[in-house]
Amino acid sequence: MLEELKKEVVAIARQAEASGLCRHKSGNFSIRDEKTGYVVVTPAGVGREELTYYDICVVDGKANVLEAIPGRKPTSELLLHLKAYAIRPEVMAGLHTHSRFATAFAVVNKEIPAIVYEGAALGGAEGIIPVAPYGRPGTSALAESITGPIKKADAALLESHGVITVAENAKDALLKAHYVEEIAEIYYRALMISGGKEPAIIAPEEFAQWQYPPEFKLHNHTTKA
Ligand SMILES: [Zn+2]
C-alpha cells in the first residue's frame, strides 16, 4: 500500500545521502498519508545504496506495523517521527539526520540563533533553531523531548544526537534539513573567525519586514484575463 509515498520517501532519503546530510545508515525519513493518516517510514539498518521502495514500512500513528517485508522493521526512531505528526496535524513529512555541523551544536547543547535569513524559513517566530533536551535514541523520552521545540519551529537539534526537521511535504522537510546544516556551518565559521564572539542577530521585526521587491514589475503575475 501507499506505493507512491514509499517511492517518494526513498527519493528523499537518497537525496539526503547524496548531498552529505546523512551517511553510513544514519538518518531516517517518513511521510504521512493525508487520507489514512498512515506513515511510510524508512527501515532500520538499511543503507541508502541498497534501499528500494519494497524496504519501506507502513505504520499507523500508534506505531503498529501495518506492512513490512520479511527482515525489515521501521527505524528505531519511529516514535520521534510519530510524535512530530501527533503534535503538528499539518505536518506530513519528517527527517532525522546526524548532519555534522548541526550535530556539533547539538552535542554542546547550543541553540543556533537567527544569524542569516534562511532562519526565517524554519518556522520559528524568532528564526532560532532550538535544542530539544537529551533523550536516549529510540526511546519515547527522546520523542517527548521534541514536543516544546517542534511546537515552535520546523527544526530542532536533539541534544547529543542530531537534527529533526518537519514540513507539509517531504521536499520542504529536506530543504529545511539543508538550511539547518548550512546555518550551523555558517554559525560555526562565524564563531571561529571572530574568536568565539557571538555574531549579530537578525531581529524578528527585521525578518517580518522582508518582502519580494515591490519595484519588480511581474507582468506574468497579472490577474487580468
Ligand atoms: Zn539518530
User: Is residue 171 domain-resident?
Assistant: yes
Q: What DSSP character marks residue 188?
A: H
| Number of C-beta neighbours around residue 51 at 10 A | 19
Residues 81-104 pLDDT 10s:
999 999 999 999 999 999 999 999
d(CA 43, ligand 1 centre) in Å: 13
CA distance 187 to 144: 27
CA distance 188 to 204: 22
User: Is residue 67 domain-resident?
Assistant: yes
CB 121 within 8 A of CB 155: no
Q: What is the mean pLDDT of residues 44-56?
A: 95
223 pLDDT band (50/70/90 cuts)? low
Q: What's the confidence (pLDDT) of residue 222?
A: 58
User: Parallel, antiparallel, or unpaired: how do β-strands 155-158 and 131-132 relate?
Assistant: parallel
Q: What's the confidence (pLDDT) of residue 220?
A: 72
d(CA 199, ligand 1 centre) in Å: 29
User: Is residue 219 domain-resident?
Assistant: no
User: Is residue 129 domain-resident?
Assistant: yes
Instruction: Report, in this order, helix, strand and coil percent for the chain, each rounded to 5.
Output: 40, 15, 45
Phi/psi for 167 (5° steps) reads -165, 175
User: Is residue 217 domain-resident?
Assistant: no
* Structural domain of 95: 3-210
CA distances from 43 to 50, 164, 210 (A): 11, 17, 41
User: Is residue 13 domain-resident?
Assistant: yes
Q: What is the CATH number of the domain that holds 95?
A: 3.40.225.10
**Count of the separate structural domains present in the chain:** 1
Location of C-alpha cell 503575475: 221
d(CA 210, ligand 1 centre) in Å: 34
Q: What's the confidence (pLDDT) of residue 217?
A: 78
Location of C-alpha cell 545508515: 25
CB 129 within 8 A of CB 155: yes
Phi/psi for 157 (5° steps) reads -85, 145
d(CA 98, ligand 1 centre) in Å: 6
Q: What's the confidence (pLDDT) of residue 208?
A: 81
d(CA 164, ligand 1 centre) in Å: 9
Q: What's the confidence (pLDDT) of residue 221?
A: 67
Residue from 32, 31, 36 nearest 10 by CA = 31
d(CA 215, ligand 1 centre) in Å: 46
Q: In angstroms, how far is CA 49 from the centroid of its own chain? A: 21
Q: What's the confidence (pLDDT) of residue 212?
A: 84
Q: What's the confidence (pLDDT) of residue 97?
A: 97
User: Is residue 215 domain-resident?
Assistant: no
CA distance 80 to 138: 8
- Residue spans of alpha helices (H) in the chain: 3-18, 78-87, 100-107, 140-145, 147-152, 170-193, 204-208
Global pTM exceeds 0.85: yes
